[in-house]
Amino acid sequence: MSTAEMALPKKTMPIGTILLQAFLILIAITQIYPLIWLAFFSLKDNSEIFSGDVANLPKQFLWSNYAKALSEGHVLTYFFNSVFVTAVSIILVLILSSMTGYAITRMNWKLSGLTLTIILLGMMVPIHAALLPLFMVLKNLGLLNSYWSLIIPYVAFGIPMAVFILGSFFRGVPRELEEAAVIDGCGIYRTFFSIILPLVRPAISTVAIFTFLSCWNELMFAVTFINKESMQTLTVGMMSMVGTYITQWGIIGAGLMITTIPTIIIYLLLNKQVQRSMIAGAVKG
Amino acid sequence: MMNSVFSNKTAITIFVLPTLLIFCAIVLVPIFVSSYYSLLDWNGVGKGAYIGFHNYVELFTDSRALNSMKNSLLFAAASIFIQLPLSLLLALILASNVKGEGFYRTVYFIPVLISTVVIAQLWSKIYNADYGLLNTLLENVGLSHLAQDWLGQKKTALIASFIPTLWQYIGYHMLLMYAGAKSISQDIFEAAKIDGASRVRTAFLITIPLMKPVLKVCLVFSVIGAFKVFDLIYVLTGGGPFFTTEVPSTLMYTTIFDTYRYGYGSAISVFIILECLVVTLIINKFIKTE
């Protein structure tokens, strides 16, 4: 069995077990009920929500709220923008960080240690520090309201964690594999791309999940650098949508659900991997 | 042959230079730029006037700024004294091989994954004075005299805006602590059991002390998280009513983008960087691991 089966020696008192389960279920309800409530009111109309009967199942399921949120509320546009910005950011973070992580941990050069230190320091820098300087630069370059105004900062701030996670996986690859590859006539690029990268697939998915969550949910840069509605991502779009439909909770609820569902689906599919990536992100040096 | 392949200067440059350039340009250089801006009286148009540390003097004398710092300290305190103990309790229970361990771990973690914007919108509906879930529940259990405008009143707004963050991140800290507890060698618990130590005693005398490294990480994360909190407050209350829920990052944001005081706003951002750095150093210095 698992290592910490004995973390707390188990008593076999049924009452204790029942109380413990009741407590755990209570917490589970607290954690999940607000979302279920959201799902309910996303399918109701105003009169039903405002009748004071907020906690019940919808009398009839108003899927039209979802249709309205997607079309009139522009959620489809926001959704596409988020998907695009997030996908490009993930790909760039993976390419840049895996190459750099590899060069730092497996290749021989004098400044590798210093480079690693500088990049890892970046994990401690809050994005607040960059907000105004980036805003000024993007404004002067005319890059506000472009996808790049989000992708570039997301990639830059994603790099430290990614280099850290990938680097520690590269360290675990046995030297012999590289030696064998080189003896067989592989150059450095082939060794890296066709031998090493496939070996660290778990680290790559960890970094991808981590980057997905931070880009998909980011607000501060997104609200500052984008004000054109057609370019807004889900987080910012949701804010403007709430302004538009301030009294129509059903439509807002539908928008919030559409924002949330992809994350929940990914989580339920990749549950173990997601949890592992969150742990990996925390356990640094 | 090995050496020449793995010291290939061209390859190293290709592998490292693009990353380093983008990282320095976007993450490192702006810190220095912000520090420079923070010494200016500047509205973003034309050149700013150099005013030395005047912005910092203002930051530590202005009651609105001091109030925002106090709020973020209260936020940190709430995380440390409410969120972390609850997370620890849950982690210890789940790590002790209870029934449904995997299910509870999965469910508790769900709020962590949801965008803070969504969470803020959702909780603003929960708190809604007229039709919100909270007031309705209170009425249904006969406590309607407690129903009120949770986010709209000075006396409840701050607590009401803590709760969603506490709720959101309990699962995250629980997961980290759970992983920490699970990584402790089982032999130690065997020994404790043979010595007849009770469940609670084992937790306090063995499990928790051995979890010190992960507890330290959680402590750093929750304090820094409280200092950086932005999304939730920005969406939930915008810092109101009457600045009761304002935190440094929302103050920074409004200072820059609503009142166009770029220098003062930058001073606040430098303050946020420094307090995150200092608190990390302090926690690392005073809680020794290994």
- Measured CA to CA, the distance from residue B152 to residue B163 in angstroms comes to 15
- Measured CA to CA, the distance from residue B197 to residue B283 in angstroms comes to 31
Strand runs labelled E in chain B: 40-41, 49-50
Nearest of B58, B43, B59, B35 to residue B259 by alpha carbon: B43
Tokens standing for residue A15? 């009452």
**Residue B45 pLDDT > 70:** yes
Could you identify the residue written with the tokens 């960890």?
Answer: A206
- Which range (A108-117, A131-140, B143-152, B262-271) has the least confidence? B143-152
- Measured CA to CA, the distance from residue B107 to residue A56 in angstroms comes to 21
Interchain pair A256, B234: CB under 8 A:
no
Interchain pair B23, A235: CB under 8 A:
no
Report, in this order, helix, strand and coil percent for chain B, each rounded to 5. Answer: 75, 0, 25
More confident residue, A282 or A148: A148
Q: What is the average pLDDT score of chain B?
A: 91
Residue A85 is inside which H or E element, if any?
helix A75-106
Per-residue pLDDT, A17: 85
Per-residue pLDDT, A13: 60
Average of pLDDT values for B121-130? 90
**Number of neighbours of residue B5 by Cβ within 10 angstroms:** 18
**Residue A86 pLDDT > 60:** yes
Closest chain B residue to the Cα of A139, Cα to Cα: B44
Per-residue pLDDT, A208: 93
**Residue A10 pLDDT > 90:** no
Per-residue pLDDT, A52: 62
pLDDT in tens, B91-115: 999 998 889 999 999 999 999 999 9
8 A C-beta contact, residue A243 and residue B238: no
Return the sign of the alpha-carbon dihedral for residues B34, B35, B37, B41.
positive
8 A C-beta contact, residue B188 and residue A5: no
- Measured CA to CA, the distance from residue B102 to residue A173 in angstroms comes to 30
Per-residue pLDDT, B88: 96
Nearest of A225, A197, A274, A213 to residue A89 by alpha carbon: A213
Contacts of B193 in chain A (CB under 8 A): 6, 9
Residue A285 pLDDT grade (very low, low, confident, very high; cuts 50, 70, 90): very low
Share of chain A above pLDDT 90, in %: 56
Contacts of A178 in chain B (CB under 8 A): 2, 6
Closest chain A residue to the Cα of B21, Cα to Cα: A156
pLDDT in tens, A245-269: 888 888 999 999 998 998 999 899 9
8 A C-beta contact, residue A81 and residue A88: no
Residue A29 pLDDT grade (very low, low, confident, very high; cuts 50, 70, 90): very high
B4: contact with A, CB 8 A cutoff: no
Please give the DSSP secondary-structure letter assigned to residue B144: G
Q: Hey, what amino acid is at A1?
A: M
**Residue A1 pLDDT > 60:** no
B154: contact with A, CB 8 A cutoff: no
Phi and psi at residue B196, in whole multiples of 5°? Answer: 75, 25
B106: contact with A, CB 8 A cutoff: yes
**Residue A6 pLDDT > 70:** no
More confident residue, B262 or A4: B262
What's the pTM value of the predicted model, to 2 decimals? 0.91
Chain B: closest CA distance from residue A63 (Å): 19
Could you identify the residue written with the tokens 């608190």?
Answer: B279
B25: contact with A, CB 8 A cutoff: yes
**Residue A4 pLDDT > 50:** no
- Measured CA to CA, the distance from residue A130 to residue B269 in angstroms comes to 9
Per-residue pLDDT, B44: 84
- Measured CA to CA, the distance from residue B240 to residue B233 in angstroms comes to 9
Residue A2 pLDDT grade (very low, low, confident, very high; cuts 50, 70, 90): very low
Contacts of B85 in chain A (CB under 8 A): none
Share of chain B above pLDDT 70, in %: 99
SS3 B98: coil
B284: contact with A, CB 8 A cutoff: no
Per-residue pLDDT, A3: 47
Average of pLDDT values for B47-71? 94
Interchain pair A55, B266: CB under 8 A:
no
Long-range own/partner contacts, residues B246-250 (CB < 8 A, 24 or more apart): B246/B64, B246/B67, B246/B68, B246/B71, B247/B68, B247/B71, B247/B72, B247/B75, B248/B65, B248/B68, B248/B69, B248/B72, B248/B272, B249/A128, B249/A220, B250/B68
Chain B: closest CA distance from residue A53 (Å): 8
Per-residue pLDDT, A103: 95
Q: How far apart are the first and last CA of chain A?
A: 29
Residue B48 pLDDT grade (very low, low, confident, very high; cuts 50, 70, 90): confident
Chain B: closest CA distance from residue A13 (Å): 13
pLDDT in tens, A90-143: 999 999 999 999 999 999 999 999 999 999 988 888 899 899 999 999 999 999
pLDDT in tens, A158-209: 999 999 999 999 998 998 888 889 888 888 999 999 999 999 998 999 999 9
Residue A198 is inside which H or E element, if any?
helix A197-199
* Buried residues in B88-102 as b, exposed as e (16+ CB within 10 A): bebbbbbbbbeeebe
8 A C-beta contact, residue A251 and residue A240: no
Interchain pair A11, B199: CB under 8 A:
yes
Nearest of B169, B141, B117 to residue A278 by alpha carbon: B169
